[in-house]
Each structure stands twice: as structure tokens, then as C-alpha cells.
Chain A
Amino acid sequence: MPVNLLEDDLDMNVGTGEHEYHWTLNFGPQHPATHTTLRLVLELDGERIVKATPHIGYLHSGFEKLGEHLTFNQYVTVADRKNYISPPMNEVAWHHAVEKLLDIELTPRCKYIRVIIGELSRISDHLLCTGAAALDLGAFTAFLFAFNLREMIYDVYEQMSGYRFHPGYTRVGGVLYDFDDKVLQRIERVLQQTPKVLKDMEKLLFRNRIFLDRMRGVGVLTKEMAINLSCSGPIARASGVTYDLRKDEPYLAYPDFTFQVPYATEGDCYARFQVRMEEMVQSLEIIRQAVKNLPSGPANVPISEKFPLPDKGTAYNSMEGLIQHFELIMPNRGPDSPRDEVYAAVESPNGELGYYLVADGSQVAWRTRTRPPSFIHFAVFPHLIKDHLIADVVAVLGSLSIIAAELDR
């Protein structure tokens, strides 16, 4: 349709003072600084943001619907893909809920293994978040340092499960393979390298004038707002809410370890950044203790519990193992789950990652409602960005660590 630009331009009530003249800017869904497919519609007064409206749903994959059609063991591959920056934590969260539903008590070794992979994924997630926040503000080197270390963590995943990006490592009542010496060697390498990388990142950023000026006092979230808006994890802790599920509602083997819960009170982007940096140090401490005290014994609960899949050796070489495998895998068989529902949550890198799980007696969940931290934190964004400038959008977005697959499930 041909448009007469001149006439249209003249027609607008620009500068008459009758109503304010605001620009609308579409930020995303594919903007390099949004990392994933998010869209922000910004209403601008000059460069000042009057109103921000987030739009999601570009990646809606129907993960929750899939959960109503895949068995408890199969769904772990989908749970992986919800937050693909820290997949093992999603697996731990999923099977934590399933085991709570089925009332399975894990073996001590399995609890430690899950703590280790969970904390590794926390480091991996925070490295990406802090590194990318630095990258968005122009500090490329810090991002490279962070990504280099993430490769080492992927090496651990690869060694323990055979898969680099989506390990699919946990199973009902245990894990896919037990840890062997090679896995522990790779973890040892991560433990040795990480403190140096963190120190380098701190040196680059903590006294960097540009970085500080763009992070301090930007996107302030008060404590009252954090509680009212259901924030959890590092974002809430940077605003003075010290709640941490690992300490306050301990699960797995967390009571065995000594570690601190870092928090700040400023609630700005810089506080969130600092809390994440310190959490990585504490995670390293937990991994170090867990590797040192890793209990011996089986990683999976015994076959007599009926739910765990037998490992490959047992399934191929013993009649009982073969029968057990058959009984669990065939769709018309399998043990019963209680006809009841349960809510279980773990402290994922971004906050409370919970599952509201409804079972109908079969091996497939009736409903797998995920309580995703990213979804809740993205809803906070309009409150944080109000009255800031366009340049601050990337700083606030980076400090919230939003993953689109978790938003859209």
C-alpha cells in the first residue's frame, strides 16, 4: 500500500503538548543481547523507558503436555531442555519430585553424586550469566574466560554420561552410570581451574569503571517487591531475602556440607552479579567436600524397590535383571504409582525450581506442572526497567538470567 509519508508526518500531533509523544521500540525477539527468543515492547520518552511489555511464547514447545505422555524415566530428556544452561539441575529437580511421589529413599552415594552434578550445573549457569552480562556491557574477555571453563564442565558431563550438552543422567532411584575415576579426575580439574578463572573475572570486572557505572543502582528490586513478586534464588538473595532451599528445606545430602548462603541488600544489577560470583565459590566448596567424602556402595537403589531400571550389565547377564527391565519398560506393565499429588522443589541456579506432580497410578504423570524461576523473574522485568534508559535493558536482562525454553515450556 503506497503511503504518503509527508502527509502522514504532518498529520501527527507532534509537540502540540496535547498528548505526550512516545516512541515504541521492539526489542527482540532475536536481538543479540536478549540471548534467546524474548521480545520486549518498549514505550520510550526519548531514551527513557516509560513502559516495558514483555512478550513470550515464541518457543512454546509443550513440555508440560509431553509430560503427560512420557514415563517418569523418559521425561528426563525433556526436563533437560527446559533450562539448557544447567541441564543436570533440571534432571535432579524432576527426579527429586518423582522420588518424593514414589517414596524412594536414595542411596548415600547417589545423593552425593546428585549434589555434585547439581552444583556443577550451578557453576555452569552462573558462569554463563555473569559472563554474558559482562559481554553485553562490552567486556568480551570475561565472557571468554567463563566459556572456556564451561567447556571443562561439559567434559565432566561427557565423561559421566556420554553426552555433552543434555546428559539425561538421572533415573528414578539413581543415576545412569556410577561415577568412575575418570569422572572424578575431570571434576578435580574443574576444581583446580575454577578459582583462577573466577579471580581473573573479578580482576577484570570488580574495579572496572564502565562495568560499575552501568550495574550499580540499575534495576533496583527492594526486599518487599522481591517477596511480593515471588522472586527466589540469587535475585531474591541480592535484595536481602536470604531464603535458600538448600539450607532452609534441605534435600539430598545438603545437611552434610558446610557452606554459606551469600546475599546482598542493594538489590541492583551489581548485587545480583556479586551474589552469583560468590555462589560459585560456595558451590566449589560443596563439590570439594562431596568429592572428598563420596560414600562407597551402590549408586542406585536395589531392584527390590521395583522402580529403578537395572543397569546394562544386570539386564543383559541375569534373568532377574532382564525380567525387571521388561516389567518396567513395557507400556502395559510397570509398578503402580500412588493416586496422589506432590509438590517438590529444589534450589536451581536461578531459584526455586519446583514440580507439582499428579500421578494417576501409572508410570506416566497425569500432570507435570513446572514452577520455572525464569518465568517468574521475567514478569518482574517491567518493574525493574521503568525510568531507566535503553542501554540499561541489557544490563537488567543479563542480571535476571532468563532462559526462553523455561519461560515457554
Chain B
Amino acid sequence: MSEATSMTSHPIVDQLTERFGGSLIRSSTFRDNLRVLVDRSALFEVLSFLKDNAGYTFLSELGGIDYLGYPDRQEGSRFEVHYVLLKQETSDRIIIKVGVDDPDPTLPSVMPLWGGANWMEREVFDMYGIRFDGHPDLRRILMPDEFTSYPLRKDYPLRGRGERHNFPKITRDQS
């Protein structure tokens, strides 16, 4: 997110600030995208407030970003996960972002709020190794189960590390 640290004045941001205060780290607007970076501890409450009380009932996108080596990034976590919420009545969108760091990248799952988060959280887990607490079925989704790395991390090379060549071979007798 950009360096603009000031809190943007927007009705929903004011509501969130009033309710969650210190858990909101910063908010900004860029090209009509309203983004709010929240603390991990308040993530689930912020999202469920937006869904149940503010009318943002539609989770339109969930994904992860790895900022390892991002130019001039001094502070902030290595990973960020974004939730793009949509209020269908007024076509308003809000992007909630949350940072997680490497030793134990864990976030609360939003499965209790949106069933649509199921596969999207599994994909973030598969590609970045970010775990989602409370997800009923957190398995790899795109890569095979034997795969040990997280391919979309920035320190994972484009050509892989050779895991693909070390997969166990199943012979006809074993099948």
C-alpha cells in the first residue's frame, strides 16, 4: 500500500474507526479503490461488522501478496492478504488488507461468514503457506499433496527447485 498514512475520510472508514479504533492501521484511496489495513487480531470482527452491519454482503475476491524485496518497503509484514468486499445495493467496494509474517503466518478463516472463501483461502495457503484457522478443509488445491514449497513466494525460483522430479513413482503393482 502507498505511503499515505493519513486516515481517509469516508463514511464507512469513520464507522470502522469509531468501532475498532486502534486496530485500524491506515486507510487510503487510490484510483477510487478504498483500502483499509487492519490488525490481524481485529480482522474477523471488522469483516463480520462490514458484512452484517454495513451491508458489504458479497466477498468478491480474496488473495495474497508477498512483499519480500519490494523496493523501499521498510515496515509492514512480509505477506498481505486482501479481501475485496462489495455492497451490491450501492456498488461500493472496500478492500480490507491484513499483514502476516513468516514464522507463523496464520489468519482467522472467514468461512463462517462466506462460503465462497473456501477455495480462495485454500489457494492462498497452497501458494503462500498462510494458514487459516478454522478452515474446515485446508489442503493444497493446485499443487499435489507431496509438494513441499509455496510457489508464489518471491524467493521461489521461476523454474522450481526440482520437487517435481522427486515425486514418488507409483508402479502398476502398487496401484
Contacts and interface: CB of A to CB of B under 8 A. Distances in A.
Contact of A341 (B1, B91, B116): B1
Given A339-B72, A366-B70, A65 B152 contact: yes
A134 B147 CA distance: 39
Interface in A231-255: 231-232, 241, 243, 248-249
A152 B115 CA distance: 40
B98 to A, nearest CB: 14
A366 B71 CA distance: 10
B1 A340 contact: yes
A1 interface: yes
A360 B70 contact: yes
A371 B60 contact: yes
Task: Report, as a range, how many residues of chain A touch the other chain.
Answer: 35 or more
A106 to B, nearest CB: 15
- Pick the most buried of A243, A345, A376: most chain B CB atoms within 10 A of its CB: A376
A100 interface: yes
Interface stretch (B13-21, B101-109, B138-146): B138-146
Interface stretch (A85-93, A108-116, A290-298, A351-359): A351-359
B158 A356 contact: no
- Pick the most buried of B2, B30, B71, B140: most chain A CB atoms within 10 A of its CB: B30
A345 B33 CA distance: 12
A343 B30 CA distance: 10
B44 interface: no
Contacts of B117: 230
B75 interface: no
Interface string A46-80: 00000000001100101011000100000000000
Contacts of A339: 2, 71-72
Interface string A341-380: 1110100000010101010110000110101000110110
B73 to A, nearest CB: 9
Contacts of B173: 1
A339 B3 CA distance: 9
B24 interface: no
Contact of A371 (B63, B66, B114): B63
Contacts of B70: 360, 366
A1 B93 CA distance: 59
A303 B66 CA distance: 34
B2 A340 contact: yes
Interface string A322-350: 00000000000000001111110100000
A343 B33 contact: yes
A249 B88 CA distance: 10
A317 interface: no
A356 B82 contact: yes
A360 B173 CA distance: 52
Contacts of A1: 173-174
A230 B71 contact: no
Given A57-B143, A360-B71, A249 B91 contact: yes
B49 interface: no
Contact of A354 (B61, B64, B119): B61
B163 to A, nearest CB: 13
12 contacts: A1-B173, A56-B142, A64-B152, A69-B158, A229-B114, A230-B59, A230-B117, A338-B30, A341-B30, A341-B65, A343-B33, A371-B61
Interface of A: 1, 56-57, 60, 62, 64-65, 69, 100-101, 103, 225, 227-232, 241, 243, 248-249, 338-343, 345, 352, 354, 356, 358, 360-361, 366-367, 369, 371, 375-376, 378-379, 383, 408-409
Interface of B: 1-2, 30-31, 33, 57-61, 63-66, 70-72, 82, 84, 88, 91, 93, 95, 114-120, 123, 127, 140-144, 151-152, 158, 173-174
Given A57-B140, A343-B93, 15 more contacts: A1-B173, A56-B142, A64-B127, A64-B152, A65-B152, A225-B115, A230-B116, A248-B91, A343-B95, A354-B61, A369-B64, A371-B63, A376-B120, A379-B118, A408-B142
